[in-house]
Amino acid sequence: MDGDWSSVLSSVAAAVAVIWILLLLLKKPTSSNPPLPPGPRGLPLLGNLLSLDPELHTYFAALAKTYGPIYSLKLGKKIGIVITSPDLAKAVFKDQDTTFANRDVPVAGKEAAYGGADIVWTPYGPEWRMLRKVCVREMLGQSTLDSVYGLRRREVRQTVGYLYSKAGTPVNVGEQMFLTMMNVITSLLWGGTVKGEERAALGAEFRQVVGEITALLGSPNLSDFFPALERFDLQGIAKKTRVMAGKFDRIFETIIEQREKMCGEERESKDFLQILLQQMKDGGDSKTPLTLTHVKALLMDMVVGGTDTTSNSVEYALAEMMNKPQILKKAQQELEAVVGRDNIVEESHISKLPYLYAVMKESLRLHPALPLFVPHCPSATTTVAGYTIPKGSRVFVNAWAIHRDPSIWDSPTEFIPERFADGKWDFSGNDFRFLPFGSGRRICAGTAMAERMFMYSLASLLHSFDWSMPPGEKLDLEEKFGIVLKKKTPLLAVPTPRLSSPSLYE
């Protein structure tokens, strides 16, 4: 009996195995969708959330060495797709640009941008096109930037004067660059600047608020991965963002109230806010009218997106040059040949400084302002590289990793401006090996502004001063991840005047 029973069990087991195999074979051809990209195994429910490293750009780059240039992560209820090659970046930014032109709006984004009513988070469509058109036409176009050069010049000269007053003592370079950018942006927006003794204190306060908002935007949030938990705000990210954004909102409210009283007044030139309020009053595009919420969301975009990014990039460029004094010296020699020590830098000189342009490009290659950009979100399920990319997934393009890919760049971790000699590698978004400002429909709207401010600010710093570390201090180039990449340790450097006359610092 025992032998018969054993034989029956074996037969049943064999039959079950055969049926299971047949079912698998029969099921496979019926699947119309390719599989998800490969990726690390995750825990039930949580997926890969617990294994995420705070330095996401380097963590994602390391995973790509194991799983390839496209892989997937399970992020709670969401699917994350990470792309780490130029060809696949092209598939997202160009070949299927319309499909990937949307955003998966995080809770912090909703709180910071009036429900996501700005250029960054608004879904691709008529409303987004209206916002971008208004922004580029009225503020960030080349003709507008040409017309307000005097404003940029005033703020950069004020910064040079302030640094001259601090000669021989350490200054926080990033903080001063942030304040310069903030003054330029706010002057364009509503005409206000920070001067005198307020400069250092208010600059530090504004930078802290902007820094906290960008940090919250880049922080992993359970509410984003488990939407059912959003109302509980378990990590307090929504509340913290609301508090930070509220500080700016109160400023916006006050200034809007002042400008609305001035709308009927005749002035030689109107600031950006007055133009927006007039368009709102006139009705603008009847199909997609500009609202007060849009106006405030655009102001937030400009203040948050236009300050920290450029100031961090200039800070990193100067730090990299100080780390390689021969590069700093070469850039200063170029400036002396073009500008001279008896003159000050003007924006008209910038086009004659090819080596400094190469420095800018190399700094943006090594330290892209947004290392993972703002994640994209496909509006429909699609296929990339033979893998399914589900509708609503969060797609990260790792520009930081692409910019350091040894198959593309020689000595990729070295700061070598010469690789960009002769105008190689533009950043128009058409070369997917070099994407400091992104590509496609969602390419950075402020590229022209960022380029001008980066070059003019850095040229002025290098031409006006020699730079050194405080005695006993070592230069640290370590990065700190966020939606905006920063130096982990702020650059405290000592400026030493190098021009021929004190009057050139006035």
DSSP 270-333: --HHHHHHHHHHHT-SSSS---HHHHHHHHHHHHHHTTHHHHHHHHHHHHHHHHSHHHHHHHHH
Residue with tokens 């490969």: 38
Read off the DSSP letter of residue 339: T
Indicate the SS3 state at residue 258: helix
User: Quick one: tokens of 358?
Assistant: 């190469």
Rounded to a whole number of angstroms, the distance between the first and last alpha carbons of the chain is 107
Residue closest to 316 by CA, chosen among 174, 205, 474 = 174
CB-based contact 505:160 (threshold 8 Å): yes
What is the rounded CA–CA span in Å between residue 119 and residue 125? 11
Q: Distance from CA of residue 494 to its chain's centroid?
A: 28
Contacts of 166 (CB under 8 A, 6+ apart): 495
CA 198 to chain centre: 28
Cβ contact 453:181 at 8 Å: yes
Question: Any binding-site annotation on 444?
Answer: yes
Return d(Cα 69, Cα 67) in angstroms, integer.
7
Distances (CA, A) of 38 to 34, 365, 389, 428, 501: 12, 28, 12, 31, 63
DSSP state of 205: H
Known binding positions: 444
Known binding positions for heme: 444
